Amino acid sequence: MVKTNTKIIFILFFVFLLESLGSAHDGGKINILEEEILSDFDDIFYNEDEDEDEIFDVWRNGRGNKNLVNVDTCGAVGDGTSDDTKAFEDAWKEACSKRRSVFMVPSGRTYLVNATKFNGPCANGLIIQIDGTIVAPSDPENWDPKSPKAWLVFSNLTGVTFQGNGIIDGSGSKWWEASCKKNKSNACKSAPRALTIDLSSGIRVKGLTFQNSQQMHFVISRSNSVRVNGVKVSSPGDSPNTDGIHISESTNVVLQDCKIGTGDDCISIVNASSNIKMKNIYCGPGHGISIGSLGKDESIGVVNRVVLDTAYLKGTTNGLRIKTWQGGSGYVRTVRFQNVQMEDVSNPIIIDQFYCDSQKPCQNQTSAVEISEVLYRNVSGTTKSKKAMKFACSDTVPCSHITLDNVNLEARDGTAEVYCNSATGIIAGYVHPEAECLNSNDKKIEQEIEECNVHDEL
Ligand SMILES: *[C@@H]1O[C@H](CO)[C@@H](O)[C@H](O)[C@H]1NC(C)=O
Ligand SMILES: *[C@@H]1O[C@H](CO)[C@@H](O)[C@H](O)[C@H]1NC(C)=O
Ligand SMILES: *[C@@H]1O[C@H](CO)[C@@H](O)[C@H](O)[C@H]1NC(C)=O
Ligand SMILES: *[C@@H]1O[C@H](CO)[C@@H](O)[C@H](O)[C@H]1NC(C)=O
Ligand SMILES: *[C@@H]1O[C@H](CO)[C@@H](O)[C@H](O)[C@H]1NC(C)=O
Ligand SMILES: *[C@@H]1O[C@H](CO)[C@@H](O)[C@H](O)[C@H]1NC(C)=O
């Protein structure tokens, strides 16, 4: 019991630490070197695993008077065809209302559940233990019209842990066939996201597998202090819009030890998100690890303080990507990608301020989401496309303070190259292919100054 209390204090301290980190630099000088800003950010990775195991052990060993709520005892059938929605709703009511509950989805069974909202606030100490499989109804025709964009939504929770070896399966194949990306004669309609954690804080997610989602697999939205460990995502490489983990309007999010293979971005980070740390990420197949898209329909997009440390990308259509639409505003600032290994990746390093994912072409505009302070360090491997690095930035809103430090990307045939438009930065350490074009704007200015001096002397 004493040990448990210590752990709880530790968790509270951790949440406090994350929150203080979140506010420490708000309103401060933005132009500090990313190094300085991000160094304390690293600390949030340390000493983290023990207490999670402790939470797990506490209920496993039957210590701590847990209120076990098994969906089976609430009437779930678990045969994969009976409708278990009502049993899940009843179990949720019971688990949410009592302290120290475990909402239990037992292993070895498959539960068919409709679009459902699991709303908080709940009594303290809730654990959601998913060891079995939860599947969605597979037919888009019968989908609940009241919930066109969501399947399982957990909302307004504080201090909740999701864990287990279970599977969240969106049964997405019919949705994919109906997608306008698969077949141009289909109308473009939204499809559900498998699991959403919304308006929540102090959340941990450990060990779950997401597969075959209708669209995005796992969405973290409008939340603060979320820690995800050991999550797997698996969907075919040609399944449309099936992002692995999508982070929106959220702060202090840590993703660690995740293995993601899907048909869209492995991880996507969009508007109003900051202090996002990713560590030990495997991505492939997929569209890479993305910030954005941002700025669609002339909107404001802001993403700040993102770190990816240690990643392996294999056969993806992009590697490390920042994508924004023309006409938007806001900024992407202070991003660090380091220790990344690529194998057969198209566009391994790409900033694309001309992103256009609509059926009609996008016009260039003067306004754009500003991109600055992006560091690529220790990035190596093979590129499938000729352009190993592409910095395609807006003529009116250039990309600045791009740093390349120890980057080595090679094409199979040895013809890798770098493309720059309106981007400036620093090259440190060995960089291949040569990225002189990042310096060229600075050089032009230097040259102009020199030419002026010459004229003065004459
Ligand atoms: C689940 O969806 C099916 C198909 O729309 C519907 O027939 C059924 O009543 C729903 N179940 C619940 C508990 O709402
Ligand atoms: C969330 O929970 C709080 C209480 O903690 C409540 O006041 C609020 O109305 C809830 N919000 C939503 C959107 O359910
Ligand atoms: C595309 O959709 C149309 C109408 O929905 C259908 O007739 C056609 O067979 C589909 N094409 C493919 C390649 O699936
Ligand atoms: C992005 O977030 C900001 C608040 O930080 C908000 O003002 C803006 O409307 C958001 N943009 C979109 C597209 O939702
Ligand atoms: C937009 O501007 C970029 C950079 O100058 C240029 O490469 C691209 O062709 C332009 N696109 C359109 C649609 O004009
Ligand atoms: C980059 O790689 C070098 C050599 O492999 C290593 O010593 C260094 O610690 C790495 N940098 C970071 C920031 O991890």
pLDDT tens, 85-121? 999 999 999 999 999 999 999 999 999 999 999 999 9
Cα of 158 vs centre of ligand 1, distance in Å, is 29
pLDDT at 359: 79
pLDDT at 64: 63
pLDDT tens, 411-430? 988 899 999 999 999 999 99
Q: What share of the chain is helix, strand, coil (3-state, %, to 5)?
A: 20, 40, 35
Cα of 67 vs centre of ligand 1, distance in Å, is 29
What is the overall mean pLDDT for the chain? 87
**How confident is residue 55, by pLDDT bands cut at 50, 70 and 90?**
very low
Q: Is the dihedral of CA 201, 207, 213, 216 positive or negative?
A: positive
Shared domain for 301 and 239, answered yes or no, is no
Helix, strand, or coil here: 425? strand
177 lines ligand 3 (CB under 6 A): no
Cα of 199 vs centre of ligand 2, distance in Å, is 9
Cα of 288 vs centre of ligand 5, distance in Å, is 24
Using most ligand atoms within 8 A of CB, pick from 355, 356, 362, 364 the residue to mutate for ligand 5.
364
**How confident is residue 162, by pLDDT bands cut at 50, 70 and 90?**
very high
Alpha-carbon separation of residue 430 from 46, 134, 179, 433 (angstroms): 30, 49, 44, 9
Cα of 141 vs centre of ligand 1, distance in Å, is 12
Shared domain for 245 and 303, answered yes or no, is no
Using most ligand atoms within 8 A of CB, pick from 277, 378, 380, 408 the residue to mutate for ligand 6.
378
Q: Which residues contact 56 (CB under 8 A, 6 or more apart)?
A: 163
Q: Is the pLDDT of residue 10 over 90?
A: no
pLDDT at 441: 58
364 lines ligand 5 (CB under 6 A): yes
**In sequence order, what DSSP letters do the residues of 291-314 get, joined into one string?**
EEEE-GGG-EEEEEEEEEEEEEEE
**In sequence order, what DSSP letters do the residues of 186-246 get, joined into one string?**
S------EEEEEES-EEEEEES-EEES-SS-SEEEES-EEEEEES-EEE--TT-TT--SEE
pLDDT at 439: 83
Identify whether 145 is part of a domain: yes
Q: Which ligand is nearest to the CA of 338?
A: 6
Cα of 96 vs centre of ligand 2, distance in Å, is 14
pLDDT at 53: 45
Q: Is the pLDDT of residue 332 over 90?
A: yes
Q: Which of 389, 360, 380, 392 is nearest to 429 (CA)?
A: 380
**How confident is residue 388, by pLDDT bands cut at 50, 70 and 90?**
very high
Shared domain for 273 and 134, answered yes or no, is no
341 lines ligand 6 (CB under 6 A): no
**How confident is residue 458, by pLDDT bands cut at 50, 70 and 90?**
very low
264, 286 in Cβ contact below 8 A?
yes
421 lines ligand 5 (CB under 6 A): yes
pLDDT at 42: 47
Shared domain for 456 and 314, answered yes or no, is yes
400 lines ligand 5 (CB under 6 A): no
Domain that holds residue 125: 64-251
| CATH number of domain containing 334 | 2.160.20.10
Shared domain for 247 and 282, answered yes or no, is no
Identify whether 87 is part of a domain: yes
Identify whether 383 is part of a domain: yes
Q: Which of 95, 208, 227, 92 is nearest to 153 (CA)?
A: 92
pLDDT at 41: 46
Question: What is the arithmetic mean of pLDDT over 326-350?
Answer: 97
pTM of the predicted model, to two decimals? 0.87
Distance of CA 142 to the CA centre of its chain: 30
Identify whether 256 is part of a domain: no
365 lines ligand 5 (CB under 6 A): no
Question: What is the arithmetic mean of pLDDT over 180-196?
Answer: 92
Q: Is the pLDDT of residue 59 over 60?
A: no
Identify whether 34 is part of a domain: no
Shared domain for 194 and 114, answered yes or no, is yes
**Closest ligand 4 atom number to CA of residue 295:** 13
pLDDT at 20: 39
pLDDT tens, 422-457? 999 999 999 999 999 998 655 454 454 455 444 443
Q: Is the pLDDT of residue 13 over 60?
A: no
Identify whether 223 is part of a domain: yes
Q: Which of 287, 401, 432, 455 is catalytic?
A: 287
Domain boundary among 251, 282, 303: 251
329 lines ligand 4 (CB under 6 A): no
pLDDT tens, 114-123? 999 999 999 9
The region of weakest confidence among 17-21, 329-333, 363-367, 389-393 is: 17-21
Phi-psi map region of 166: left, alpha, beta (phi>0 left; psi -120 to 50 alpha): beta
For the record, the structure tokens of 415 come out as 């013809």
Identify whether 9 is part of a domain: no
Shared domain for 203 and 328, answered yes or no, is no
Question: What is the arithmetic mean of pLDDT over 23-36?
Answer: 37
Using most ligand atoms within 8 A of CB, pick from 271, 273, 367 the residue to mutate for ligand 4.
271
pLDDT tens, 243-259? 999 999 999 999 999 99
pLDDT at 15: 41
Cα of 240 vs centre of ligand 5, distance in Å, is 27
Q: Which ligand is nearest to the CA of 337?
A: 6
Shared domain for 247 and 275, answered yes or no, is no
Using most ligand atoms within 8 A of CB, pick from 112, 114, 152 the residue to mutate for ligand 1.
114
If one counts the domains in the chain, the total is 2
133, 111 in Cβ contact below 8 A?
yes
Q: Is 217 an annotated catalytic residue? A: no
pLDDT tens, 197-214? 999 999 999 999 999 999
Shared domain for 277 and 241, answered yes or no, is no
Domain boundary among 251, 276, 292: 251
Q: Tell me which of 8 and 204 has the higher pLDDT.
A: 204
Shared domain for 297 and 239, answered yes or no, is no
Shared domain for 382 and 448, answered yes or no, is yes
408 lines ligand 6 (CB under 6 A): no
Identify whether 39 is part of a domain: no
Shared domain for 131 and 213, answered yes or no, is yes
